[in-house]
Chain A
Amino acid sequence: MKRRTVIPFGPQHVVFPEPIQFRLILEEERVVDAIPALGYMHRGIEQLATVKDFTKTLYLAERICGICSVMHTLAYAQAIEELMGIEVPPRAKYLRTIWAELGRLQSHLLWMGLAADAIGYESLFMQTWRAREVVLEMIEFTEGSRIMTGSITIGGTKRDLHAESLEFLLHKLEHLEQALNDIYPVFSDDPLIKQRTVGVGLLSKADAIKLGAVGPTARGSGIAEDMRLLGYAAYGELDFQPVVETSCDSYGRMLVRVKECFQSIELIRKAIAKLPPGEVLVKVKGRPEGEVIMRIEQPRGELLYYLKAGGDKSLARWRIRTPTLSNLPPLVHMVKGARLADVPLITLSIDTCIACVER
């Protein structure tokens, strides 16, 4: 029998800033087994929601994850609105769409940078994060803060966009598109990047269904599923098609994300063009009662909320199923048999967000 080495991969590791531990069992440099160990970020949000006021839980939802904070507030607000039967003004729906897409842009750019970093491509990492700063500038200008914006609330949005803000957005989007046009060919054509990603971390379509892959991971394996097609917020009125790649490897998943950046830019432009006038916030009275399931497309995939409220001040149950949790079994499947040098990239290729997983 070959000699086996056990490498503790994480929880503190430079490649990804988040703590997850993989105990990798190696034969020489090939991984024969990977055991994920979670729990380094568990905060007990589901339990906190059962003791806090349901309006304050909104802020808790925002702090499930700092990267997709907008998505969590959006999902939570929509779920509560559905429970209480509130109709959100159309302008607020469009604003929510714009912010959600900005959030997706910054998340995808962040991921692209980390992926470049994982394969040791310093320069590309810096260039993508430089482009990301443009998005953060837009977010800060329109929402008031870089990460925790608090701009979406139950019943609408807290802020409105004026004509000059929209002009600023359009202007910056052009900058961003230029930067992305420079970055895109590097990701799609660079021979050394291809050498590191093509055929690495294979996940066939059948496996993706069986193991419950969602989001870009599933779309990289040829499954055309995008929760935005459900038509929540203003997505029903904006025409778009999900980005699908059929190469089933890290390269495919990478391309899905890069292409989705362009798609997001298009969606924001369409939303700005169609933005209806009117109010952005309706008054909310009463307490939620009943059960609801909310599915939303996060940058990382499908987010599933199950809310149960009994007419009390706080919720009876708030079940958060985040995309990364669903993508963990495919990840374990992909890591088995990979080379040690490819493990960081494969782990990143599902866009792990441990803060979401552990709540």
Chain B
Amino acid sequence: MLTNVRLISKDDLLETVQELARDNYRLLSITATEIAGGFDLIYHFAQGMTMLNLRFSIGYEQEVPSITPFYFCAFVPENELKDFHGIKIANLPINYRQLFILSELTPVKTPLAPRAAAASGTEVLPE
């Protein structure tokens, strides 16, 4: 089951992540799920065998700050969020512009967020 969940708000994210980085937590992944009117975001961290999940929800139009200043490896899941859900990430240093795994030839934009597909207006640049 989903255990050890800490509910936070979007504004607390960077501060919390900074604390976790100081305590030598590892970033496992970031999961987004489309819910009514927006996305449910879970940041999975682990220290040894124990997991810690940070959870908060955002609306379609809201921007999430990138946590790459503390965890450089976050650019991989954050680019995935952009690809599959069309979530807007602020200050992403390595930005594939929605072409990380999907290509400009893919007929579907944001395949894991069908309800948001129409709302996604991000510019797609050719490779």
A residues apposed to B, CB below 8 Å: 38-39, 42, 44, 46-47, 50, 82, 209-212, 225, 227, 229-230, 290-293, 295, 302, 304, 306, 308, 316-317, 319, 321, 325-326, 328-330, 358
Contacts and interface: CB of A to CB of B under 8 A. Distances in A.
B70 to A, nearest CB: 9
Chain A interface mostly? mixed
B44 interface: yes
A82 B1 CA distance: 7
A326 B72 contact: no
Contacts of B53: 293
A50 B112 CA distance: 9
A47 B27 contact: no
Interface of B: 1-2, 24, 26-29, 31, 33, 42, 44, 48-49, 51, 53, 71-73, 75-77, 84, 99-103, 111-112
A235 to B, nearest CB: 12
B76 A210 contact: no
A302 B44 CA distance: 13
- 4 nearest CB pairs, A to B: A329-B73, A321-B29, A212-B73, A291-B2
B72 A329 contact: yes
Contacts, number: 79
B33 A293 contact: no
Nearest to A50: B112
A42 B75 CA distance: 18
A330 B100 CA distance: 17
6 contacts: A50-B112, A212-B27, A291-B1, A306-B29, A321-B28, A329-B76
A180 to B, nearest CB: 29
Query: Looking at chain B's contact residues, is the secondary structure mostly helix, strand, loop, or mixed?
Result: mixed
Given A39-B99, A39-B100, A44-B111, A304 B44 contact: yes
Contact of B49 (A42, A229, A317, A326): A229
Most chain B CB within 10 A, of A229, A293, A302, A304, is at: A293
Contacts of A44: 111
- Of A210, A306, A319, A328, chain B has the most CB atoms within 10 Å of the CB of A319
Contact of B42 (A230, A306, A316, A326): A306
A212 B42 contact: no
B28 A39 contact: no
Contacts of A50: 112
Nearest to A37: B127
Contacts of A290: 1-2
